[in-house]
Amino acid sequence: MDPVTLAFLFGGLSAASLPLGAAAGVWLNPGLRVTAAVMAFGAGALLCALALELVVPALAHFPNDPLEGFLWLALGAITGCLLFIGLDRALADMGGYLRKHSTISNRLKLHKKRHYRRILDKLSVIDLMVALPPDEIRRVVSDIERREFKAGELICHDKDPLDALFLIESGKVHVLPHGENREDNEAVTLGKGEAFGEMALVTGVPAIKRAEAVEDTVLWEVHKDDFNEVVAVSPGLQNTIDGLAASQGAAKTAHGIEKDRSAEWLEAAAQDLESELGKPTEAEIIHAASRQKRGGSNVALAIWLGIALDGVPESLVIGGSMDGTTVSAALIGGLFLANFPESMSSATVMRKQGTPISHIFGMWLSLMIMTAVGAAMGNVFITDAPLHLRAVLEGVAAGAMLAMIAQTMLPEAYEHGGWLTGLMTVVGFLAAILMGTLGR
């Protein structure tokens, strides 16, 4: 049998575990801890395969000048890593992040971080907020609540006093403050980007007599209880807050803050926002997936392309690493072991999203065929390529695979598997070595 046909078959064999893993994910519906353990096992097997069958051979092309081999390998690895990251981000914007639990979780964290940054931007023009240490105000931001009011709806009144700071996201609010003289009692109309109610946070005494939505309005609410928690752990802040309370009017907003001061506070408050993000819940993940998938066929295509992006580099290497009509058992075995948990994890997530079973299997079967075709192409274009080009191409595959392991497989495994991740990664690594040893 000619080498190209054998490469096609070897590629298909290495990817045969994709539909098997998908079947396990769909019908067995494994728990998160089991999925994490299997994912870590696959990551270890893949690390072994790329180390022994990509990195070592690439260096071996230049026995008389190992440094030259390293330079070509490094060039390829960095290129492959950057290509994977760039394409992965582009596909994520199209909806491709829905293919895995870890990519969905990362996407939701990014959206939440951007949302928190916008809230902090609004807070940065209020004297009261800027007086607080920015690293502590982050804990208030995570508890801010979105409120909607219809035109004519009361936000507060005498019998329901205001005990929160409100930031106006959109719409207009008619505010009537409490006051000791006539001027203090004059009503004002506030619009987008303005705030009211800050004095209620400081003094606990309602400073707003009445607030009514002039039109449909969206507000962000900082509740007094959450605000008090920040003040309670910040000795000395109360004096500063009392000074602000004495100098500000009840409905006054801090548009007079110097821009440099506001920008400096915002940048400090926005640092390390990840510490306040928390982990997306399973309900949030399913909701985000359902919302995104309303985009239709483009999202389905992005998911398929994302899955293909994870598997294409390895397929090219299968054919390119063949020595005549033979191929490394460690490589085929390692890829087979790594593909199973990847497809199992993705299929489990897709099924929870409501993706039809036929579509799930169609994706993974098509990827198995594409892996086989990629292996055949690798045999045609890589096997007889100049040594420096082979080293670069092997480095590209290694870099892309390492980036994929680092970004999607191990984070997902550790998130749900904890200490088990390290053990199963080592076991997977040894399993791939064993398969290579038995195949010699």
Q: List the CATH number of the domain containing 163.
A: 2.60.120.10
Question: Is 305 within a domain?
Answer: yes
Instruction: Check whether residue 67 and residue 90 sit in a common domain.
Output: yes
CB 380 within 8 A of CB 3: no
Residue spans of beta strands (DSSP E) within 191-248: 195-196, 208-213, 217-223
The sign one gets for the Cα dihedral 370, 372, 374, 377 is negative
Question: Is 271 within a domain?
Answer: no
CB 334 within 8 A of CB 45: yes
Hey, how many other C-beta atoms are within 10 angstroms of the C-beta on 385?
14
Instruction: Check whether residue 198 and residue 130 sit in a common domain.
Output: yes
What's the total number of domains in the chain? Answer: 2
Instruction: Check whether residue 42 and residue 177 sit in a common domain.
Output: no
Question: Is 317 within a domain?
Answer: yes
Token pair belonging to 56: 């070592």
pLDDT at residue 226, as a whole number? 76
Question: Is 265 within a domain?
Answer: no
Instruction: Check whether residue 240 and residue 335 sit in a common domain.
Output: no
Angle between helices 259-270 and 101-123 (to 10 degrees): 150
Residue 90 pLDDT > 60: yes
Question: Is 243 within a domain?
Answer: yes
Question: Is 264 within a domain?
Answer: no
Instruction: Check whether residue 294 and residue 426 sit in a common domain.
Output: yes
> Bridge partners of 157?
160
How many Å apart are CA 188 and CA 90, to the nearest integer? 46
Question: Is 263 within a domain?
Answer: no
For the stretch 258-317, pLDDT in tens is 778 888 888 888 887 766 666 666 666 666 666 665 555 556 677 777 777 777 777 877
Amino acid at 429: F
Instruction: Check whether residue 371 and residue 408 sit in a common domain.
Output: yes
- Which band of pLDDT confidence, cut at 50, 70 and 90, is reported for residue 74? very high
Within 144-220, residue ranges assigned H as helices are 198-203
Instruction: Check whether residue 149 and residue 241 sit in a common domain.
Output: yes
Instruction: Check whether residue 227 and residue 290 sit in a common domain.
Output: no
- 346-363 residues labelled b (16+ CB within 10 A) or e (exposed): bbbbbbbbebeeeebbeb
Record the pTM. 0.69
pLDDT at residue 255, as a whole number? 47
Question: Is 117 within a domain?
Answer: no
Angle (CA) 327 332 337, round 5°: 170
Strand-strand pairing, 217-223 and 164-170: antiparallel
The sign one gets for the Cα dihedral 46, 52, 53, 54 is positive
How many Å apart are CA 242 and CA 234, to the nearest integer? 14
How many Å apart are CA 381 and CA 225, to the nearest integer? 66
Instruction: Check whether residue 291 and residue 424 sit in a common domain.
Output: yes
Residue 237 pLDDT > 70: no
pLDDT at residue 165, as a whole number? 84
Amino acid at 144: I
Instruction: Check whether residue 195 and residue 101 sit in a common domain.
Output: no
Largest CA distance in the chain: 98
- Of 256, 291, 308, the position where a domain reaches its end is 256
Tell me which residue range forms the domain holding 76.
Answer: 3-111+281-438
Strand-strand pairing, 188-190 and 217-223: unpaired
Instruction: Check whether residue 29 and residue 176 sit in a common domain.
Output: no
Instruction: Check whether residue 251 and residue 286 sit in a common domain.
Output: no
Q: Which residue has the higher pLDDT, 192 or 277?
A: 192
